[in-house]
Amino acid sequence: MELYLDSANIEEIRHAASLGIISGVTTNPSLLAKEDPKIDVRKRILEIHALVGGHLSVEVVSTDADGMLREADEILSWFPEATIKIPMIPEGLKAVRKLSDQDVETNVTLIFSPTQALAANNAGATYVSVFVGRLDDLGADGMEVVRDVRDIWDTQGLSSLILAASIRHPLHIVEAAKAGADISTCPYKPLMQSLQHPLTDKGLAAFLADYKKMQEEIAKLKG
Ligand code: G3P
């Protein structure tokens, strides 16, 4: 399972990219606004693209297909490899079909059910983004949707890539991988938490202390 960073923060993206563990970045209007409500979206998107170079989802904000397609044209004029992120609404599906027919990659976002994922796949979506955490917030089992989508995809031989989004903690990453998600897009905090283990830190401290002891003994022998 590939990992993307779900962020529009340059420092977070720079650091995660430097670790070599992410192959893309997903953004949305809320993440951009969190950085700065007056943010220059084109400039920030191009900065992110320069840092990561892999997948980069950029979301449209129109609610009609023509508007979405105009926005997609503009985003693609910034950089042609952009993945256009489109909300899972009927007008969005129309836009996805058109973009898919032009071989433009799309990421259908705000998917909360297997039927929405199926429709997005049939419209030609490259990625279907299932929002796990927001379903969990309602007391539902968000990962169940990812598992159902994987089952349906395997039974039917469907091709959209399954992207587990709205990830809130490291266990979501584990569960998404077990559920067969192709990609998990994680905010910076759970991604960094997922790299840590107290026994790793304790073990490293012991290795370093023992190495220091050895060096001290060697130094004593050399006198
Ligand atoms: O990329 C969008 C998605 O991951 C949103 O997550 O935490 O706002 O539910 P969240």
| Per-residue pLDDT reduced to its tens digit, 164-211 | 999 999 999 999 999 999 999 999 999 999 999 999 999 999 999 999
Atom of ligand 1 nearest to the CA of 168: 7
Q: What is the pLDDT of residue 96?
A: 98
**Do residues 103 and 127 make contact, with C-beta atoms less than 8 angstroms apart?**
no
Give 223's pLDDT tier (boundaries 50, 70, 90).
confident
Residue nearest to atom 9 of ligand 1 (CA): 166
Token readout for 112 is 């909360």
Catalytic (active site) residue 213: no
Give the per-residue pLDDT at 40.
97
The residue nearest atom 5 of ligand 1, judged by CA position, is: 166
**In the predicted model, what is the mean pLDDT of residues 64-74?**
98
Mean pLDDT of 67-93: 98
Mark 127-136 as b/e (b = at least 16 C-beta within 10 Å): bbbbbbbebb
**Whose C-alpha lies nearest to ligand 1, atom 7?**
166
Q: Per-residue pLDDT for 56 more than 90?
A: yes
Of the given ranges (49-53, 99-103, 117-121, 150-154), which has the lowest mean pLDDT?
49-53
Q: Ligand 1 pocket by C-beta < 6 Å: which residues?
A: 6, 26, 28, 131, 133-134, 165-166, 185
Q: How far is the CA of 201 from the centre of ligand 1 (A)?
A: 30
Ligand 1: atom nearest CA of 165 is 4
What per-residue string of b and e applies to 181-219 under the rule 16 or more CB within 10 Å gives b?
bbbbbbbbebbeebeeeeeeeeeeeeeeeeeeeeeeeee
Query: How sure is the predictor about 7, in pLDDT bands with cuts at 50, 70 and 90?
Result: very high
Band the pLDDT of 131: cuts 50, 70, 90: very high
The dihedral built from the CA positions of residue 144, 145, 150 and 153, taken in this order, carries a sign that is: positive
Check 34, 38, 43, 85 and give the catalytic one. Answer: 85
**Best residue among 9, 31, 58, 166 to mutate for probing ligand 1, ranked by most atoms within 8 Å of CB:** 166
* pLDDT of amino acid 72: 98
Going by the DSSP 8-state scheme, the letter that residue 204 receives in this structure is: H
In whole numbers, what is the pLDDT of the chain averaged over residues? 98
For residues 21-46, average pLDDT: 97
Residue nearest to atom 8 of ligand 1 (CA): 166
- The pLDDT of residue 41 is above 90: yes
Position 1 confidence tier, pLDDT thresholds 50, 70, 90: very high
For the CA of 133, the closest atom of ligand 1 is 9
